[in-house]
């Protein structure tokens, strides 16, 4: 498999674009879930160190990441 510089550059740019699109989608969904749930979840995470909220957002982050990765990968 012979990759020239143009092909490597194309793959790198494509990877960066998909990464940025995935991160923007993930952050948008994170803030949407934060607004849809009752209370100030960020305050619960940072100030009160609520373990249950941290586990919830961790599981949510993994789920959203898998969905976004599947959508971007095709």
Structure confidence by residue, pLDDT tens digits, 12-71: 888 888 888 888 888 888 888 888 888 888 788 888 989 998 898 889 889 878 887 787
pLDDT at site 44: 83
pLDDT at site 74: 57
| Range 21-29, long-range pairs (CB < 8 A, 24+ positions) | 21/72, 22/65, 22/68, 22/69, 22/72, 25/68, 26/61, 26/64, 26/65, 26/68, 29/64
Where does the pLDDT of residue 3 fall: very low under 50, low under 70, confident under 90, or very high at 90 and above?
Answer: confident
pLDDT at site 1: 60
pLDDT at site 11: 82
Which tokens belong to 48? 């009160």
* Residue 54 and residue 61 in contact, taking contact as beta carbons nearer than 8 Å: no
């Amino acid at each position: 498999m012979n990759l020239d510089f143009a092909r490597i550059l194309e793959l790198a740019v494509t990877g960066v674009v998909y990464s940025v699109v995935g991160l923007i989608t993930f952050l948008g969904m994170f803030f949407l879930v934060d607004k849809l749930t009752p209370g100030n979840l960020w305050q619960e995470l940072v100030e009160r160190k609520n373990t249950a909220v941290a586990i919830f957002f961790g599981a949510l982050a993994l789920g959203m990441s898998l969905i976004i990765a599947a959508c971007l990968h095709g």
